[in-house]
């Protein structure tokens, strides 16, 4: 399936720096035309650079194994979600963007659209690195204690910094979401910072693919009703979707 091919291609590219159409065709047991289509889609999503005969990685690999694991899971869903999320942004907006892997895909979409001149605050070191040479985006890295496994800041200093601003939009990821339990994450410091971002922004948008539906973790960020828009992709049953829509607006990015 295309989703699995995307994940394989990006992982291979991250390891080797360059991939060829012929090698991928042989390894994935699909035609070279299919691989070219996949590479063109990933190129348009800003995840690689097409070159003659294949593709190469954009920049150096900065990601640790723990971050790669999240970054390359459910890639196709995350790309769809990121594209829909980017459509919610207008030029002149001020944004909070957290350290989730899906938000990193949003960063890459936004990076490609020079018509959207925005001011962006993030606690993700990797998001800031992605935008180092992006003239249409003013980037502010939120300070605080650095978590090396996440490549992100959190803690009292981060919360104090965030509380001094008011953003138009806040984009959040989560480890789990449900109508009954709300939005939850594994780490308490990350939950606290997400709460501060929400308090300091006018509109809250949750980016979460269907694999995270009905997963509940100890650190609850907020009830789902505090989210203005949930952007998701993947398989969610009609009854589950009805429950979610009873709490918030839902946008299916893959429909």
Split the chain (255 residues) into runs of 10 and give each run's mean pLDDT: 78 82 92 92 79 80 53 81 96 96 92 95 92 94 86 93 96 95 91 97 97 91 97 93 96 84
- Same domain assignment for residues 52 and 80: no
Degrees (nearest 5) of the Cα angle 238, 239, 240?
90
Q: Distance of CA 128 to CAs 86, 161, 171, 249, Å? A: 17, 16, 15, 29
Give yes or no for a contact between 137 and 127, defined as CB atoms under 8 angstroms apart: no
> How many whole angstroms separate alpha carbon 209 and alpha carbon 33?
28
| Phi, psi angle pair for 162, to nearest 5° | -60, -40
What was the pLDDT predicted at 195?
97
What is the rounded CA–CA span in Å between residue 104 and residue 34? 26
Tell me the backbone φ, ψ of residue 222, rounded to 5 degrees: -170, 160
Identify whether residues 8 and 103 lie together within a single domain: no
pLDDT at residue 8, as a whole number: 83
pLDDT of residue 62: 45
Domain that holds residue 44: 2-56
* pLDDT the model gives residue 239: 93
Structure-token match 């593709």, residue found: 55
pTM (2 d.p.): 0.78
106 found inside a domain: yes
- Three-state SS for 54? strand
Burial of 135 (0-12, 13-18, 19+ CB in 10 A): exposed
Whether residues 213 and 113 share a domain: the answer is yes
* Separation between Cα atoms, residue 76 and residue 226, nearest integer Å: 27
- Structural domain contains residue 61: no
d(CA 248, CA 244): 6
Per the structure, the count of domains in the chain is: 2
Same domain, 231 and 120: yes
Nearest to 244 by CA among 254, 231, 234: 231
The reply to whether 126 and 45 lie within a common domain is no
Are 225 and 108 found together in one domain? Answer: yes
Domain containing 52 — which CATH number? Answer: 1.10.10.10
Please give the radius of gyration of the chain, using alpha carbons only, rounded to the nearest integer: 18
31 and 73 inside one domain: no
Whether the CB-CB separation of 183 and 222 falls below 8 Å is answered with yes
CATH of the domain at 171: 3.40.50.1360
Q: What is the pLDDT of residue 107?
A: 94
Give the per-residue pLDDT at 240.
Answer: 93
Task: Answer yes or no: do 172 and 112 share one domain.
Answer: yes
């Amino acid at each position: 399936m295309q989703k699995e091919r995307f994940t394989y291609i990006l992982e291979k590219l991250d390891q080797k720096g360059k991939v060829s159409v012929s090698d991928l065709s042989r390894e994935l047991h699909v035609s070279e035309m299919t691989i070219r289509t996949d590479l063109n889609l990933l190129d348009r999503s800003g995840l690689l650079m097409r070159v003659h005969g294949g593709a190469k990685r954009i920049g150096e690999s900065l990601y640790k194994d723990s971050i790669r694991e999240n970054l390359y899971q459910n890639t196709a869903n995350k790309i769809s979600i990121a594209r829909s999320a980017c459509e919610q942004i207008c030029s002149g907006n001020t944004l909070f963007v957290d350290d989730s892997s899906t938000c990193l895909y949003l960063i890459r979409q936004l990076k490609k659209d020079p018509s959207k001149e925005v001011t962006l605050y993030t606690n993700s070191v990797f998001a800031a690195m992605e935008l180092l040479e992006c003239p249409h985006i003013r980037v502010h890295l939120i300070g605080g204690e650095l978590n090396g496994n996440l490549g992100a800041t959190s803690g009292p200093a981060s919360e104090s910094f965030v509380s001094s601003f008011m953003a138009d939009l806040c984009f959040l990821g989560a480890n789990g979401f449900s109508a009954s339990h709300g939005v939850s994450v594994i780490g308490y410091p990350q939950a606290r910072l997400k709460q501060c971002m929400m308090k300091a922004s006018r509109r809250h948008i949750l980016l979460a693919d269907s694999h995270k539906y009905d997963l509940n973790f100890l650190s609850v960020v907020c009830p789902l009703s505090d989210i203005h828009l949930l952007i998701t992709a993947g398989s969610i049953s009609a009854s589950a979707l009805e429950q979610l829509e009873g709490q918030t607006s839902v946008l299916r990015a893959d429909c």
